[in-house]
Every structure is written in C-alpha cells, then in structure tokens.
Amino acid sequence: MKILLATDGSKVSLEAAKFVVNHIKELGGKPEIQLVNVQPRLPGRAQAASNAGSVRSFYQEESGKALAGAKKILDQKGIPYAEQFLLGDPGEAIAKHAKAGGFDMIIMGSHARGAIASTVLGSAVRDVLADCKVPVLIIR
C-alpha cells in the first residue's frame, strides 16, 4: 500500500504519524510511506528580493521543521519513508501530489475547527476531500 502522510508539524499531524505506527499491520505491514509538507509560496516581492537558492533553502528548512516530529515517530519504530516538500496551497498541493503519485491513501490530521472557522480560515482537509478521489483517513 502506498500512503501519503501529510504533516504540518502540528499536534494533530503527529497523531496521524502515531496512527500509522500503531496500525502498521492493518496498513499492509510494510506500506510505502511518503511524508509530505506543503509550504506556502513567499510573496512575489520577497522572492524577487532573494536569489533562487536562498528561497529554496528557506522552503527546505521550514519543511524540515514541519516534518521533524513525524520523522522521529517513524524512525523510533524503524518504519522507512521518503519525504517531500511541496509549494502552494496545502489542500490543492496534497490532492494533486496524491493523484500524480498513484497513492492508495492519504492520512492527515484535522484541527477540528468549527464550520465558521473552517470557512474563514480554509481547511486543507476539506480541500483534499473536494479535489481528490484518493481515500483520505482523517485523524482528530
């Protein structure tokens, strides 16, 4: 089974990583796991004022921070994984990456905000569900 584990470094995304560890047998015993983090693009002015290498380094550093907790959880149990960082809107980027990568399942945490807050703040989970036919397991 090919699993996309989306993480933003939050408590709920760490719970999603713990779910994978605790249910590894139900996920096929040795699933192919890819950790993914989506970084929002810097505003055009910020990108224009920096060279491409420093902007890419910034994205990689921020993504590394967001992936660190989930990596630690998987490493402690010896579960192999690949990691990837994407740029853009989290929900759209995760859905597009899951489709393009042929993933069997997306696992991600939900902050469980109310309907009004979700409308105002946006919701990566809602966007993934709307934009993707890959099954999504939401951990709360």
pLDDT tens digits for range 44-84? 665 555 666 788 888 999 999 999 999 999 999 999 999 99
Q: Are 61 and 53 in contact (CB under 8 A)?
A: no
The DSSP output letter for 4 is E
Tens-digit pLDDT profile for residues 80-124: 999 999 999 999 999 999 999 999 999 999 875 555 544 433 478
Residues 6+ apart with CB under 8 A from 103: 2, 3, 4, 34, 97, 134
Measure the CA–CA gap between 48 and 70, rounded to whole angstroms.
32
- The CATH number of the structural domain formed by 2-139 is 3.40.50.620
Q: Which of 59, 107, 116, 111 is nearest to 86 (CA)?
A: 59
